[in-house]
């Protein structure tokens, strides 16, 4: 598979830019977009459900105000989750991958993001009821009309991707991957990305390190304390460098809106952890030596 698009190594995750987080104003979003682009973060990750189906519009207004040329950025969004919130009359959270809904959702995202095309359009989570042929019809229709450039998935297993690839190419998989959530290295998910030249993207790339004060964090912290001095880096940069070393060439989706943290994330791409340091972190996370 040949990927059509080059995404920035660090991707800006926008989930907390709106009502699910910082509630940034149009002017603040406009400034932050420009700041990201100026510092090499040109890819912005969305999902229709973020902010209760409002985030895309908030970002779109800021993007239009920023005057950043469309060709300088790559816009990603996701569809399929029917979320229970005020914007939708849903009784239960579920997934909808019918042809009509996929097309409607993509076109709605285009309107809200104030763009004519999406660089990457993802199915947000796998549904046990998804019909590959129907999904392919929707995606091919959108590609034919120039509304999406690449098609991918998020949180899909290799077998679920293979099901879709029986009828349509899948160019990317965005998954949870970090030092504290590393099972994808062992279940074939990242192997699949390598074998098929599929773009790998990692949400929550710092894992639970800053959220949970458990035994694993205490073990990791001891190792990081030594490595911070060696690599002249902070804890977040060491954690990012760890996933960046994986041969799947993963793109971390970084959710911060803090300028210093964004710059630090970009600088983390310059860190090349030595082999044994990488394994020291893995062992600290797992709590046992490798087999």
**Which residue's structure tokens are 């894992």?**
207
The reply to whether 97 belongs to the active site is no
Residue 22: CB atoms within 10 A of its CB come to 15
Can you read off the two tokens belonging to residue 192? 């699949």
Question: Residue 67, by phi and psi: left (phi above 0), alpha (psi -120 to 50) or beta?
Answer: left
7, 35, 50, 83: the catalytic one is 50
End-to-end CA distance of the chain: 33
**CA-wise closest residue to 210 among 224, 227, 200:** 224
Alpha-carbon distance of 83 to 86, in angstroms, equals 9
SS3 9: coil
What residues act catalytically? Answer: 50
């Amino acid at each position: 598979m040949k990927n059509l698009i080059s995404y920035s190594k660090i991707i800006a995750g926008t989930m907390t830019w709106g009502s699910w987080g910082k509630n940034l104003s149009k002017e603040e979003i406009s400034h932050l977009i420009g700041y990201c682009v100026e510092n090499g973060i040109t890819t912005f990750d969305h999902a229709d459900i973020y902010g209760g189906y409002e985030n895309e519009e908030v970002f779109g207004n800021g993007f239009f105000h920023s005057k950043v040329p469309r060709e300088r950025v790559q816009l990603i969004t996701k569809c399929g989750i029917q979320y229970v919130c005020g914007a939708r009359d849903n009784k239960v959270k579920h997934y909808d991958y019918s042809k009509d809904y996929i097309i409607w959702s993509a076109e709605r995202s285009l309107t809200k993001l104030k763009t004519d095309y999406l660089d990457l359009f993802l199915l947000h989570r796998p549904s046990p009821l998804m019909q590959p042929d129907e999904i392919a019809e929707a995606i091919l229709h959108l590609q034919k009309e120039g509304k999406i450039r690449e098609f991918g998935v998020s949180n899909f297993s290799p077998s679920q991707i293979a099901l879709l690839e029986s009828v349509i190419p899948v160019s990317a998989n965005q998954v949870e991957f970090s030092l504290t959530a590393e099972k994808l290295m062992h279940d074939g998910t990242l192997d699949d990305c390598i074998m098929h030249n599929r773009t790998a993207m990692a949400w929550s790339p710092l894992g639970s390190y800053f959220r949970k004060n458990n035994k694993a964090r205490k073990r990791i912290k001891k190792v990081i304390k030594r490595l911070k001095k060696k690599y002249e880096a902070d804890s977040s940069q060491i954690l990012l460098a760890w996933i960046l070393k994986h041969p799947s060439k993963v793109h971390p989706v970084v959710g911060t809106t803090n300028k210093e943290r964004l710059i630090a994330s970009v600088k983390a791409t310059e860190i090349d952890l030595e082999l044994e340091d990488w394994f020291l972190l893995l062992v600290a996370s797992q709590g046992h030596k490798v087999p």
